[in-house]
Every structure is written in structure tokens, then in C-alpha cells.
């Protein structure tokens, strides 16, 4: 019996605690709602900073108020601060208890993705919004537009990729062409070099031939000179006396020698005459 009474008391206490908790949550939600209303008023008066402060207070006051983050997200969206707007729309979708609120949150997330040109994510967000409210024609229209933009984006990316591949291929072909051209130029250069070498060799042979011709010519000239000299030598030989014949000079030399010899003989004779004569001893005084 005492156990039953204890259980009954505990149940009453838990119920009372739950009621108190509910009262606190209800109070917090009410205060959060009032702050949201003040923020909406400030925003309508173009007081963005005041509105932002009240929205943040409202969000901090109660985690059951999905309107505050949603409206704050809208204010960021109007200011084109899309990153902050997306965070608040996402928060609103997580706090939302009903499908209508979820639908609005996902619809606006889709709008942020459209602004960012993230069309694939926009398509998914609009689809989620339609799951919560299939009757919304605006969401359906946005979904169709997102799909069209996604297709266009994918086509452009595909074309860009093809163009890039084409450019890479063209660059590769051009590179190969330049390589082939360089190789051809190199081969032509080698051919020209060989031709120049052949010409040089031919020129050297020609020069050599000319030199040989010149040498032959000079040799012929020398031979001709020798031939021209030969008759003169022949004439000289003809003019030279035969071994048994004295030349004029030799005859003159021989005559001179004979005269000298004759002179010596005469002098010898005269000397003998002088030697045989008597010497006079008498003086001529």
C-alpha cells in the first residue's frame, strides 16, 4: 500500500514538473514571438541592425520559434548575404513543426542556390519543398527553371571540356607539327650541309684539278722552255770545237805561251853572252 502511494506521489510530481516545464517553454516562446514582432517592425522601418538584434534574441530565447530564423534569413537574402540567409533558412526548416513551414524553408533554400548558380542543389531543395506542399505552383515553376538552368550549365561544362580537350589536342598536334617541322628542318639542314660539303669537295677537286692543270701548264711551259733552251744548247754544242780542234782563245793562249817561252829563251841567250865577256880592269879616268 505504501508503495502504491509513493508511485502516485511521484506521478503527481512529474506531472507538475512537466506542467512547469511547459509553462516555461510557453513563456519563452511567447517572449521569442514578441521579439520577432519587434524585429519585423524594425525591419519594416528600414532599421536592419535593430531587426537583426531582435531576431537573434528571439532565436536564443526559444528553440520552437521557426519564424524568427526564417524572417532573419529573408532579411539577409534582401541584403544579398546569401551565406547567412541559407544558414537561417536551414535552421528554420529544422525547427519547423508543420509541413507548411518546412515547405517555405526549403523553397527559400532553393532560391539561395539559384542565386549562387548551384542549380543541382536548387533542384533538390525545390523537390523537398514540393514534398511538403505539392500544390505550390511557384515552387513547381522554380523547379522547372532550375532543371533547365542545370541542363544548360551541364551542356556548357561539357562544351568547355570538349573545347579544352580540343585545345589540348590542337596544342598537341601543333607541338607534334613543330616537332616534325624541326626534325624536317634538321634533316634539310643536314642535307644542305651534305650538299655544301659535296660542293666544297667538288670545289676542292675543281681547285685541285685547276692546280693540276696549272701545274701541267707550268710543266708544259717548263718543258717548252727546256725545249727552247735545247736548240740553243745544241747551237752552243755546234759552236764548241771538236776535241781535235782548238778554239780561237786556245790558239791565242798557245801563241802567247809560245811567245813567253821564246822570250825566256832569248833572255837566257843574252844572259850567257853577258857572262862570257871580259871585264875591264882599267878605269876610264
pLDDT 10s digits, 251-278: 778 778 877 877 777 777 666 554 443 4
Which of 88, 92, 114 minimizes the C-alpha distance to 102?
A: 92
Q: Which of 171-175, 234-238, 245-249 has the lowest mean pLDDT?
A: 234-238
Q: Which of 142-146, 172-176, 181-185 has the highest mean pLDDT?
A: 142-146
In the predicted structure, residue 165 carries a pLDDT above the cut 80: no
From CA 19, how far away is CA 25, in angstroms rounded?
Answer: 10
CB-CB contact of 113 with 121 (8 Å) = yes
Q: Give the pLDDT confidence of 19-77 residue by residue, as tens digits.
A: 666 888 899 999 999 999 999 999 999 999 999 999 999 999 999 999 999 999 999 99
pTM recorded for the entire structure: 0.55
The band of 243, judged by pLDDT with boundaries at 50, 70 and 90, is: very low
- Give the whole-number percent of the chain exceeding pLDDT 70: 64
Which of the pair, 172 or 114, is modelled with greater confidence? 114
Q: How confident is the model at residue 179 (pLDDT cuts 50, 70, 90)?
A: confident
Burial zone of 57 (CB within 10 Å; 0-12 exposed, 13-18 middle, 19+ buried): middle
Is the pLDDT reported for residue 91 higher than 70?
A: yes
Among candidate residues 53, 48, 83, 46, the one with its CA nearest the CA of residue 68 = 53
pLDDT attached to residue 74: 97
Model confidence band, residue 186 (pLDDT cutoffs 50, 70, 90): low
pLDDT of residue 40: 96
Residue 225 is placed in which grid cell? Answer: 722552255
Amino acid at each position: 500500500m505504501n508503495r502504491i502511494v509513493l508511485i502516485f506521489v511521484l506521478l503527481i510530481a512529474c506531472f507538475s514538473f512537466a506542467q512547469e516545464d511547459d509553462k516555461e517553454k510557453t513563456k519563452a516562446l511567447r517572449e521569442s514571438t514578441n521579439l520577432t514582432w519587434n524585429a519585423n517592425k524594425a525591419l519594416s522601418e528600414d532599421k536592419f541592425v535593430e531587426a537583426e538584434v531582435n531576431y537573434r534574441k528571439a532565436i536564443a530565447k526559444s528553440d520552437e520559434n521557426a519564424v524568427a530564423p526564417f524572417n532573419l534569413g529573408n532579411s539577409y537574402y534582401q541584403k544579398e548575404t546569401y551565406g547567412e540567409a541559407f544558414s537561417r533558412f536551414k535552421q528554420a526548416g529544422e525547427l519547423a513543426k508543420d509541413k507548411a513551414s518546412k515547405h517555405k524553408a526549403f523553397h527559400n533554400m532553393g532560391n539561395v542556390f539559384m542565386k549562387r548558380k548551384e542549380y543541382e542543389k536548387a533542384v533538390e531543395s525545390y523537390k523537398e519543398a514540393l514534398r511538403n506542399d505539392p500544390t505550390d505552383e511557384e515552387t513547381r515553376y522554380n523547379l522547372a527553371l532550375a532543371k533547365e538552368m542545370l541542363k544548360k550549365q551541364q551542356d556548357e561544362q561539357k562544351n568547355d571540356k570538349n573545347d579544352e580537350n580540343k585545345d589540348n589536342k590542337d596544342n598537341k598536334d601543333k607541338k607534334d607539327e613543330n616537332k616534325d617541322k624541326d626534325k624536317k628542318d634538321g634533316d634539310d639542314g643536314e642535307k644542305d650541309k651534305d650538299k655544301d660539303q659535296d660542293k666544297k669537295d667538288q670545289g676542292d677537286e675543281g681547285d685541285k684539278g685547276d692546280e693540276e692543270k696549272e701545274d701541267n701548264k707550268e710543266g708544259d711551259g717548263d718543258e717548252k722552255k727546256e725545249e727552247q733552251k735545247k736548240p740553243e744548247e745544241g747551237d752552243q754544242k755546234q759552236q764548241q770545237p771538236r776535241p781535235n780542234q782548238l778554239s780561237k782563245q786556245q790558239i791565242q793562249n798557245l801563241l802567247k805561251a809560245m811567245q813567253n817561252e821564246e822570250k825566256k829563251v832569248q833572255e837566257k841567250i843574252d844572259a850567257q853572252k853577258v857572262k862570257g865577256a871580259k871585264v875591264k880592269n882599267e878605269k876610264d879616268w
